[in-house]
Amino acid sequence: TVTSGIVSALARNRVGVSDFGFFIQTDAAINPGNSGGALIDMNGHLIGINTAIFTRSGGSNGIGFATPANLVRAVVETAESGSDIFERPYIGATFETVTSDIAEALGLDHATGALISDVAADGPAAKAGLRAGDIILGFNGQPVEHPDALGYRLATTGVGATAELDVLGRKGRKTVKITLQAAPADDPRDRRTLEGENPFAGAVVSNITPRIADQLRLSPSLRGVIIIEVPRQSLASRYGFRPGDIISDVNGATITTVDGLAEVLKRGANFWRFEIIRDGRRIRQIIR
């Protein structure tokens, strides 16, 4: 059976299907249970693998999402090479959408590109000469309309390749070559299960490493301690902590490392006053 429709969006992220998407969005009817089916263009070329559908009625009418064929190819090639996991290249920078006001100020015809908001000191972007405020407009000759489109281009290019970026900087447009690398490996010593009589007991925490920052799309310059896992029945779970929470302050002590957090918790206290960062919001609480 073949159904037809239009492609209404590309590189869709954060649609509740997975943390790693870049989906093709289409209104072609996709029956629930048809994940793995082919999404083809009018010439019969495979352009995606149907993955999910958003439907209010429970039927095939709704918005469908397909994984792009180029991304599927990159994952398959990774598996065929013997690797156990598929990694996006680490560029060492975070990006924001270019607004119409920014586009007008820089003389762009319309809002397009990926605005660099932060650059890791020793990352590939910094070594290539990229700075906060630069706008990436193209990637290997293809236009970059927004940060998600850049993420897709990076993912399908792969680790180890060299990419050419069309960049609008302070002194005008330029072409920058950047080597795409894997994120630096995590040190097992950075990760620890917290113990003792404190609200965080049972939680697995880690220093914010470049790999973790890249996976969670945090600022590459952010430092601190992040909760990786919260087992059920633990004290940390009972007090409502979640994976992804960043512990920034405990009893007036600024938390920058796992060792520093463990030292503060080891001292004990009659009550615990702490601050965490969750989804960009600072939450302060006191537990007696």
Q: What is the pLDDT of residues 59-78, one digit of tens each?
A: 556 688 888 888 888 888 88
The helix (run of H) or strand (run of E) holding residue 258 is helix 258-267
Report pLDDT digits (tens) over 77-96: 888 888 777 777 888 888 88
Asked whether residue 101 is assigned to any structural domain, the reply reads yes
Residues 137 and 214 grouped into a single domain: no
Q: Strand pairing partners for 162?
A: 179
Q: Which of 101, 105, 162, 109 is nearest to 137 (CA)?
A: 109
Which residues span the domain enclosing 98?
93-179
Residues 103 and 67 grouped into a single domain: no
- Residue 226: pLDDT band with limits 50, 70, 90: very high
Report pLDDT digits (tens) over 116-172: 988 888 788 888 889 988 999 999 988 888 888 888 888 888 788 888 999 998 888
Any idea of the CA torsion for 103, 109, 114, 115, to the nearest 10 degrees? -20
- The span from the CA of 237 to the CA of 243, in Å, is 10
Residues 199 and 166 grouped into a single domain: no
Asked whether residue 151 is assigned to any structural domain, the reply reads yes
pLDDT, residue 138, reads 92
Helices (H) and strands (E) counted in the chain, each on its own, are 7, 18
- Residue 16, pLDDT > 60, answer no
Chain-wide mean pLDDT for the chain? 83
- Residue 20, pLDDT > 60, answer no
Helix (H, G, I), strand (E, B) or coil at 195: coil
- Residue 256: pLDDT band with limits 50, 70, 90: confident
pLDDT, residue 65, reads 85
pLDDT, residue 57, reads 61
Report pLDDT digits (tens) over 175-205: 999 988 887 776 666 788 998 889 999 999 9
- The span from the CA of 288 to the CA of 251, in Å, is 12
Q: Output the pTM of the full model.
A: 0.69
- Three-state DSSP string of 227-253: EEECCCCCHHHHCCCCCCCEEEEECCE
pLDDT, residue 62, reads 67
- The span from the CA of 152 to the CA of 10, in Å, is 10
pLDDT, residue 203, reads 92
φ and ψ of 265, to 5 deg: -70, -30
pLDDT, residue 11, reads 66
Residues 66 and 120 grouped into a single domain: no
- Residue 15: pLDDT band with limits 50, 70, 90: low
Instruction: Assign residue 154 the CATH number of its domain.
Output: 2.30.42.10
Residues 67 and 15 grouped into a single domain: yes
